[in-house]
Structure 1
Amino acid sequence: MNLPDIERFVAELLATGEMNDDTRVDLERILAEARAGQSHADDLDYLAALHARVLSSGDAVPAEPVVAMAPQADSAALHAEIERLRAELAEARQTIAELETRLATGP
């Protein structure tokens, strides 16, 4: 779900006047997080389901899968974790090669 869809869903839900205070706060939080690039998949699923239930329109649930928008900081952290895991894998492969050499040559 992209930002324009999120903005439209939230606006349409709020425009019904049927949202209680807690739901209104949740919708505003979901919208603020989306605008900040920090959406959560479960929130987007909730938004799509609530929109479909309240407005009962055939196109309420987006055709594309719901994917959270990852902030840049998380992206950098993920790349760092990938590099750490690659280094760990290389070290493990080196250890395996050394052990195989020892087994092949005997004690």
Structure 2
Amino acid sequence: MNNILFVITFLSIANHAISIPLVPTPCASYARSFHGVVDQLKRFNGMALTYPGLEAERNRLRFYQQMKKRLAPLISCLADHKSDILEYYQEVNDMTETQIETFPSN
């Protein structure tokens, strides 16, 4: 079930090349920082499917926490500029929060 949620989450943010140009210029560095973490997580997910286990789950949780931390200034910046893409990043933030909350605690 966790893998299904994971795939759904990243299908929605997999094509971020479309969203980055829509981000106002003052917010672009926040967007690049966030999408850098997303790219790392996508690469890691491929490895985690090959080598599943507790350490893989911990690393995935760590990346989700990094995503959440990087989303905060991006969402704030987009709100300041009344960006149309703000809703998209808020949805990603909600999905990230859900992933963190549903992670099995050991």
**TM-score for the superposition, normalised by structure 1:** 0.39
- Asked which structure has the greater RCO (Cα within 8 Å, sep 6+), the reply is 2
Higher normalized helix content (fraction of residues): 2
